[in-house]
Amino acid sequence: MKIYADYAATTPLDPEVKSFMMPFYDEFFGNPSSVHQYGQKAHVALNTARKTVADFLHASLEEIIFTGSATESINTILKGIAFARSSQGKHIITSAVEHDATLQTCTFLETQGFSVSYLPLEKDGSFSLELLEKTIQKDTILISIMACNNEIGTIFPIKEIGKIAHSHSIFFHTDAVQYYPYFSCNVDELQVDALTLSGHKFYGPKGVGILYVRKGNEYMPLLHGGGQEFGKRSSTQNIPGIMGFNKAMELTEISRNENFTRVETFKNLLESKLQIEFPDMIIHGLKSIRSPHISSMRFPEVSGEALMIRLDIAGIAVSIGSACSVSHKTPSHVLSALGLSEKEARETIRVSLGKYTTQEEIEVLIHEITLHVKALRNEKLRM
Ligand code: PLP
């Protein structure tokens, strides 16, 4: 039996989304900027998709920009706002546990004369609003804080951060990539000026993201060219991908509550059974509010990498941190920010569940994780 338990890295394409996309590869392949009928059909589809996305986020059409990924959206808004507002100040605030798309963009901005404060989390994984207030300076122009952490699943107080940012007239962006599949995103309620989503995290296609930017906030585009996407993202639009994104969003909105309950029940079962087997197991962020789909577990004296490989051989896909950071071979920056030593960080695996996870899979997961953790501990004892 093969089990996919790495939904935070990516999700499979929903077959309904796939069928919805197909006609836009075949029949309706036109360029939406062309004036002939082929182009107009693609243009109508694009407008429909934009309206769907805008309605779900409680935004207006011109506030939605289709991009090639969440990474692109994040680069666009952070660089765009930083350069557009540099005459007002050069200080940026983010957290130390953001996805690399944010962290590496901030590192780049530091080379361009900006200064960045990387806020640590509390030991329990929660975000300190008090620390945020204290870190704001007269020249702070931008705050970017994720809504849900991709490694440990903790949820950040976005609304409250938005209130603080706006009371100081600071632009606020949130990376809602992991948040959106399980929590609705009303941009007014969330009090954000910009928000990023990625299609492949909620059963849509890879290579499509969106960037919401509240009206009235000018920013420098990343891509210059034919002026598509209101001049904010030149490139011929990926119509099949955008239609898939649109359909995946519709399906997410319909089944979000049901998926939340199912996935949370499975995660609780997995964690509680493993906790009984291994009383010394540590669940990162356990005392914070967490998304239902991510569980970051540490088994002391067990290499997370060795455990992941053993599970992979058994047909089970889990991860050790975010998919992107694995290639860095460095211990997770998120776990380090929680105060874990390198050794402790390397004893962690991330299990992430999704809408195709079944009760039977959870039972096999519990069985196999127990088996391999015990085997690895026995091996270590014999060494
Ligand atoms: N932000 C978070 C929290 C993520 O989990 C990811 C994907 O791993 C990204 C951003 C980047 O998304 P994309 O693959 O669309 O560039």
- pLDDT tens per residue, range 196-227: 999 999 999 999 999 999 999 999 999 999 99
Burial 130-167 (b: 16+ CB within 10 A, else e): eebeeebeeebbbbbbbbbbbbbbbbbbbeebbebbee
Average pLDDT (291-313) is 97
Find the 129 Cα to ligand 1 centroid distance in Å: 24
Is the pLDDT confidence value at 323 over 60? Answer: no
Is the pLDDT confidence value at 299 over 60? Answer: yes
Is the pLDDT confidence value at 361 over 70? Answer: yes
Tokens 């609705």 found at: 184
Query: Which residues contact ligand 1 via a Cβ below 6 A?
Result: 69-71, 99, 101, 146, 150, 175, 177-178, 198, 209, 322-324
Q: Whose CA is nearest to atom 12 of ligand 1?
A: 70
The Cβ-side half-sphere exposure at 67, using a 13 Å CA radius, reads 26
Measured from the Cα of 199, ligand 1's closest atom is 15
CB 194 within 8 Å of CB 3: no
Average pLDDT (14-40) is 97
Q: Among residues 329, 331, 262, 261, which one has the least CA distance to residue 296?
A: 331
Q: How far is CA 29 from the centre of its chain?
A: 30
Q: Whose CA is nearest to atom 5 of ligand 1?
A: 150
Integer Cα distance of 214 and 171 in angstroms: 10
Find the 73 Cα to ligand 1 centroid distance in Å: 10
Q: Is 185 a catalytic residue?
A: no
Average pLDDT (123-151) is 95
Is the pLDDT confidence value at 324 over 60? Answer: no
The Cβ-side half-sphere exposure at 13, using a 13 Å CA radius, reads 19
Integer Cα distance of 276 and 257 in angstroms: 29
Is the pLDDT confidence value at 381 over 90? Answer: no
Average pLDDT (110-138) is 94
Find the 348 Cα to ligand 1 centroid distance in Å: 20
Is the pLDDT confidence value at 352 over 80? Answer: yes
The pLDDT confidence band at residue 329, using thresholds 50, 70 and 90, is: low
**248: burial class by Cβ within 10 Å (0-12, 13-18, 19+)?**
buried
Residue 194: its pLDDT value, please? 98
Average pLDDT (309-321) is 95
Integer Cα distance of 195 and 243 in angstroms: 20
Average pLDDT (331-353) is 92
